[in-house]
């Protein structure tokens, strides 16, 4: 559970090195904050907690907008305030995906995943996730998919 978290650290270090050429007074902690926020987290601490797999109850956690992109706004999806309601609809709908959004949940189609940087080929590598990004939280598969999302936002 460190691939996605390490990718944020790498992006922050690259930004720091670029800035050092221009003699900025910013430190690594500033870039960790900036990169984390650009990925949809509230702060570096928020990103670190979620991406490390330390969240004890993903059904009630705040995932920020990490699993969302502006392109998702034009898509029609089912939104829920509780995980149990979202899961019930997700299980009824074939080819649907259940993803967290802040403290809510969205059941969406493949267009939503394309908008956040995932394609079917990537998803086919992780059949054990059962297309549920909340239930699979903390697994190696979840970490690899999170890494793919972070890399797609470069």
Please give the structure tokens belonging to residue 72: 């998702």
What pLDDT, in 10s, does the model give residues 68-87?
999 999 998 999 999 999 99
β-partners of residue 105 are 80, 100
State the pLDDT at residue 35: 98
CA angle 55, 56, 61 (to 5 degrees): 60
What pLDDT, in 10s, does the model give residues 76-130?
899 999 999 999 999 999 889 999 999 999 999 989 999 999 988 888 888 777 7
User: What average pLDDT does range 47-62 have in this prediction?
Assistant: 94
CA dist., res. 148 & res. 131, Å (int):
16
**Residue 21, pLDDT above cutoff 80:** no
Long-range contacts of 141-146 (CB under 8 A, 24+ apart): 142/1, 142/53, 143/1, 143/2, 143/3, 143/4, 143/51, 143/53, 144/3, 145/118, 146/3, 146/4, 146/51, 146/66
**Residue 23, pLDDT above cutoff 80:** no
Nearest by Cα to 75 from 49, 103, 111 = 111
| Structural domain boundaries enclosing 9 | 3-152
**Residue 24, pLDDT above cutoff 90:** no
Whether the CB-CB separation of 117 and 101 falls below 8 Å is answered with: no
Looking at the 3D structure of the chain, how many domains does it have?
1
């Amino acid at each position: 559970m460190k691939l996605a978290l390490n990718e944020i650290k790498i992006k922050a270090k690259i930004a720091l090195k670029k800035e050092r050429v221009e003699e900025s007074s910013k430190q690594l902690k500033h870039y960790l904050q900036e990169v984390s926020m650009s990925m949809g987290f509230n702060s570096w601490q928020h990103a670190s907690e979620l991406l490390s797999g330390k969240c004890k109850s993903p059904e009630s956690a705040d995932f920020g907008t990490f699993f969302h992109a502006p392109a998702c706004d034009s898509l029609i999806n089912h939104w829920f305030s509780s995980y149990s309601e979202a899961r019930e609809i997700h299980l009824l709908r074939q080819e649907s995906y259940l993803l967290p959004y802040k403290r809510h949940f969205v059941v969406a189609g493949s267009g939503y995943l394309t908008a956040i940087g995932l394609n079917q080929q990537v998803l086919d590598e992780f059949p054990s996730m059962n297309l549920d990004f909340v239930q699979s939280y903390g697994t190696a598969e979840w970490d690899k998919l999170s890494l793919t999302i972070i890399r797609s936002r470069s």
